[in-house]
Amino acid sequence: MESYSFQTCSESVIHSHITRPIQTNSKPLLVFLHYWGGSSRTWYKLTEFDSSTSLSALYPTVAIDLRGWGQSTGPANDIDNAYSISTMATDVATLLMSLREDSDKSDLLDYGFILVGHSMGAKVALAALGVLANDLQQLLKGLVLVGPAPPSSLHLPPEIEAQGAYESEASIRWTVDNVLANPEKLSEFDVNLVVRHSLAGNQFAKKAWPSYGMQEDISQVSRKALASQNSLRASILVGEIDVVEPKERVEAEVVNFLRQNGVEASLTIVQGVKHLIPLEDPQSIYKEVCRF
């Protein structure tokens, strides 16, 4: 696994992890975008070579730490909504362009790319459609959206807001056990990983999503971008018992939105899990990605 970083401005460095398949093949690059509170490590069951559900042996991958999370930094203030969905989408588009222009990395995009977004990361993926350069637009092969936040405005579930989700180890553990996941589906290693990376997010990244990122409506940007795509496919997964992004809302506000804008969209209900599907049931994501 290779680290790759680039500077977007004086206060922001976007970090990512890159893997290459064991054998050269004609698979698209998988671009992993994590949820609010996560990091590139959220995807470890799909990106690390020693995982039974690793996609890295088959596909090139890049797992991104969104600004303020993981090893990525962000501005030391939140002037002009510096941690907005639109800004993070621009970071993603810039990273892809940086790979495209790097002679040692450009081959990662030889067969296009797929955006794989979870929750907030799914909304970032939809927003990124509107800021991709034309040559990157043509390389987009599909979307895999996991427990996706809708492109329109929504609000934080009251039980998470009341708990102060990422203020302490205790609040994170409570949120994981009572809201985000089916505890039976997570190992202690998984819970500890979530705790570490949720605590490590900077204060502005933690506040931005519930304060204004969730309310940000990027549907017009996405709709305009989708109108220029031909035969785009999207696989959407949602947990059967997800209370953060319930299956009814995902179908109404994400699946139907995509279908209304010309996307061939499928919906998979992942049985027995809540919101942390990359950790609770990575096999379901593995299967959907392998359809591309």
- For position 14, which CATH number holds? 3.40.50.1820
CA distance 105 to 225: 26
For residue 243, tell me if it sits in a domain: yes
- Is 183:177 a contact under the CB 8 Å cutoff? yes
For residue 38, tell me if it sits in a domain: yes
Q: Where residue 159 falls among pLDDT bands split at 50, 70, 90?
A: low
The boundaries of the domain holding residue 45 are: 2-153+202-289
CA distance 87 to 68: 12
Give the pLDDT score at 139. Answer: 95
For residue 180, tell me if it sits in a domain: no
What pTM value is reported for the model? 0.95
CA distance 63 to 18: 7
- What domain count does the chain have? 1
- Greatest distance between any 2 Cα atoms in the chain: 49
Give the pLDDT score at 223. Answer: 87
Across all residues in the chain, what is the average pLDDT? 92
For residue 178, tell me if it sits in a domain: no
What whole-number percentage of the chain has pLDDT above 90? 82
For residue 60, tell me if it sits in a domain: yes
Mind listing the pLDDT tens digit for each residue in 171-228? 899 999 999 999 999 999 999 999 999 999 999 999 999 889 999 999 988 888 888 7
